[in-house]
């Protein structure tokens, strides 16, 4: 019998998959941050689905508590990431990271400390 939890779980897995795909395909920083959020949401969905006990007992509340904490953490991370993206765009006018190793070519002038 397919329980509702199973559907949620499968959805969660699908969302994670979509997020991963988005992360790999896109190079635009904002889209990558978005992809992370999607993956995160998928994980939370999965987590919530795992709280399924029998229909009589009701769901396990602990995963829900963990999800809430997780959302807060994801929010802070997203905020920082977006701030960095904006700052980066302001500094360089780019919205994608340069190729690997390009950062090494510039030297460390007197630190701003």
Partner 1 sequence: MNGELALVLVATLPLVGALLTVLFGLRGGFIALAVAASISIALFVLILDVAQGGVIEIAVGGWEAPLGITLRADGLALAFLTMSALVMVAVILFAQGGFAPRTIAGKMVEKRASYAFWPLALLLWAALNAIFLSRDLFNIYVGLEMLTLAAMALVAIGGKAESIAAAMRCMMFALLGSLLYLLGVSLLYAAHGTLDIDQIFARTTTANADFVAAGLITAGLLLKTALFPFHAWLPPAHSNAPAPASAMLSALVPKASFYILLRFWFEAVPDLANQAVMWFLGGLGALAILFGSLMALRQMRLKLIIAYSTVAQIGYLFLVFPLAGGDYSAQPWATNAWSAASFHAISHGLAKAAMFLCAGLWIVAVGHDRLDGMKGLAQAMPMTTFAFVLAAMTLIGLPPSGGFTAKYLMLSAAFSAGDIIWVVILVAGGLLSAAYLYRPIAFVFERKALQTTVFVSHRLQAIPLILALAATLLGLASNIPFELLQIGRPFASSGEME
Residue ranges that bind partner 1, judged by CB under 8 A: 16, 23, 29, 32, 36, 39-40, 43, 46-47, 50, 60, 62-63, 66, 69-70, 73, 76-77, 80-81, 84-85, 87-88, 91-92, 97-98, 100, 103-104, 106-113
> What does each C-alpha distance from 95 to 16, 64, 70, 91, 92 come to in angstroms?
24, 36, 27, 10, 8
Nearer to partner 1 by Cβ, of 55 and 73: the residue is 73
* DSSP per-residue codes, 78-105: HHHHHHHHHHHHHHHS-SSPPPTTGGGG
Give me the least distance between CB of 1 and partner 1, in Å please.
Answer: 19
Give me the least distance between CB of 101 and partner 1, in Å please.
Answer: 9
Give me the least distance between CB of 39 and partner 1, in Å please.
Answer: 5
CA-to-CA distance for 88 and 94, rounded, in angstroms? 7
């Amino acid at each position: 019998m397919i329980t509702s939890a199973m559907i949620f779980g499968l959805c969660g897995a699908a969302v994670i998959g979509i997020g991963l795909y988005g992360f790999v395909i896109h190079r635009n920083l904002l889209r990558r941050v978005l992809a992370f959020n999607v993956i995160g949401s998928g994980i939370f969905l999965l987590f919530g689905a795992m709280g399924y006990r029998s229909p009589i007992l009701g769901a396990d509340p602990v995963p829900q508590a963990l999800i809430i904490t997780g959302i807060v953490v994801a929010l802070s991370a997203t905020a920082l990431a977006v701030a960095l993206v904006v700052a980066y765009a302001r500094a360089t006018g780019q919205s994608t990271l340069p190729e690997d190793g390009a950062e090494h070519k510039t030297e460390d002038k007197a630190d701003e400390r």
